[in-house]
């Protein structure tokens, strides 16, 4: 399995490469007035308007630092049963792809009701000793899922 790694507050996280549509540069965003602080704005991706989420806000409630390596990872998630929407995740350190060959995939051992998106841990990689997998479908809180669903429905 191939993973796309990134940093949040100094910790390494990763998303399975099969779930990633494309990694793009941090382009200028159109702000959405009245949106929650986790929603940075909307970007134009191949002719479609895609909302961009600040993942650091969602995970550790802190803004992503304005670094040169900041990029937007385009993914598709299920917001309601049967409805999937495209969205961007603003992260830093997404400059590589890592194969899980030779690594152990373990359960974290702790159920965290505040963070349902956290998946297994990948251990034993040369570049990253511990890599926390993130489940994109569980990443969004319910309020945001409704927000995006409504937006999608309105569209």
Question: What is the binding site for other proteins (CB under 8 A)?
Answer: 2, 4, 17-18, 20, 22-25, 68-69, 71, 94-97, 99
Instruction: Kindly give, in sequence order, each residue whose CB lies less than 8 Å from that of residue 85, ignoring residues fewer than 6 positions away.
Output: 76, 77, 79, 148, 149, 151, 152
CB of 95 to other proteins, least distance (A): 5
How far is the CA of 24 from the CAs of 42, 70, 147, in angstroms? 14, 10, 24
CB of 34 to other proteins, least distance (A): 32
Residue with Cβ nearer other proteins (99 or 130)? 99
Residue with Cβ nearer other proteins (17 or 35)? 17
Which H helix or E strand runs over 4?
Answer: strand 2-8
CB of 96 to other proteins, least distance (A): 7
Residue with Cβ nearer other proteins (16 or 116)? 16
CB atoms < 10 A from the CB of 82, how many?
6
């Amino acid at each position: 399995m191939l993973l796309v790694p990134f940093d949040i507050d100094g910790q390494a996280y990763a998303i399975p490469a099969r779930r990633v549509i494309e990694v793009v540069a941090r382009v200028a965003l159109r702000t959405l007035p009245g949106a929650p602080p986790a929603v940075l704005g909307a970007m134009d991706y191949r002719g479609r308007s895609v909302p961009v989420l600040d993942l650091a806000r969602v995970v550790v409630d802190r803004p992503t630092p304005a670094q040169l390596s900041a990029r937007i990872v385009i993914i598709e998630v299920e917001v309601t049963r049967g409805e999937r929407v495209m969205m961007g995740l603003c992260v830093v350190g997404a400059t590589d792809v890592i194969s899980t060959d030779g690594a152990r995939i373990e359960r974290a051992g702790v159920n965290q009701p505040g963070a349902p998106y956290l998946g297994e841990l990948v251990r034993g990689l040369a570049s990253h000793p511990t890599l926390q997998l993130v489940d994109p479908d569980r990443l969004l809180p319910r309020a945001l899922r409704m927000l995006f669903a409504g937006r999608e429905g309105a569209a």
